[in-house]
Every structure is written in structure tokens, then in C-alpha cells.
Amino acid sequence: MEFVRIQTEPPAEGVQASPDPVGLSDLLSHLRRWESSLPAPELRGITIRSRVAQELGVYLGGNAAQSVLRPVSDDAGNLIPTIQPLLGRFLGRKAASLLSSHIVDVAVVRH
């Protein structure tokens, strides 16, 4: 539409307006860089569990958080399926989903 179009158009010097195949390769590089910045595999599990415990401890208390996180694998591949059902009992499904994403963001993405 006109309004959106004229607001979106790049300035005359032609700033890149939208992602392209180069953008995708940049993204994949970004993902790989992020992965390589994670703690070493032998430390990853304990590091992530510790960070998540700090976040979860606010809601559950430190001991309960540690206990809940015990089944989380070293690659954290089952982190969300482990914590989300439990959080859902207290907060409801939607809020638990939002909180899980927040915890992943704080404890895993922005480590």
C-alpha cells in the first residue's frame, strides 16, 4: 500500500531494502559463529544448567530449580520439554511458553 511503500522505500543512495541469498549465508554464518561460541561440549551441560537454574530459581527456589534441571541433557536439547510442562502447571501454557523462551534467550543465547 502507498503508505507502507513510501515509508519503506530506501533513500536515494539505495540502502539494501530486503534480505537476499547473501543475507541467508550471513545468517547461517551468524548461527555457526554463535554455536562455536558456546561452552565446550564437556562443559556445556553444566554451564547451561547452572545459568538456567539461576533464572528458574527466581520462580521455584534454588533447590527446586536444580532438581528440575537434573534430567536436562548436556547438549540442552531437552531443556524446554523439561521445564515447560512444569512451569505450565503454575503459570498456564502460554505464560510458560513465553517464560521458557525468555530463559533460553537469557541463559543460552545471550550467555
Partner 1 sequence: MEQGWAAITETELECEVAALYSAHARELHRFAALILRQQDGASDAVQEAFLRYFAERKCGGSIENPRAWLYRVLHNYLLDRQAKAAIKREVASEDVVEPLDGAHDPEVRVARSQAARQIARDLTGREFECLLLRAEGLSYEEMATALGIRSGTVGALLARVRRKLLDVPGNDGSTRLGIAEALGSLLHEGGSHSS
- Considering the complex, what minimum distance in angstroms separates the CB of residue 90 from partner 1? 19
Shortest Å, Cβ 21 to partner 1:
9
Give the E-state strand segments of the chain in sequence order.
none
Residue 109, number of CB atoms within 10 A of its CB: 10
> What is the nearest approach in angstroms of partner 1 to the Cβ of residue 91?
14
65 Cβ partners below 8 Å, 6+ apart?
52, 53, 54, 56, 57, 59
CA distance linking residue 1 with residue 22, whole number of Å: 27
Site residues, partner 1 (CB under 8 A): 1-12, 15-19, 23-24, 26-28, 30-31, 34, 73, 75-82, 84, 98, 100-101, 104-105, 108-109
Looking at the Cβ atoms of 31 and 46, the one nearer to partner 1 is 31
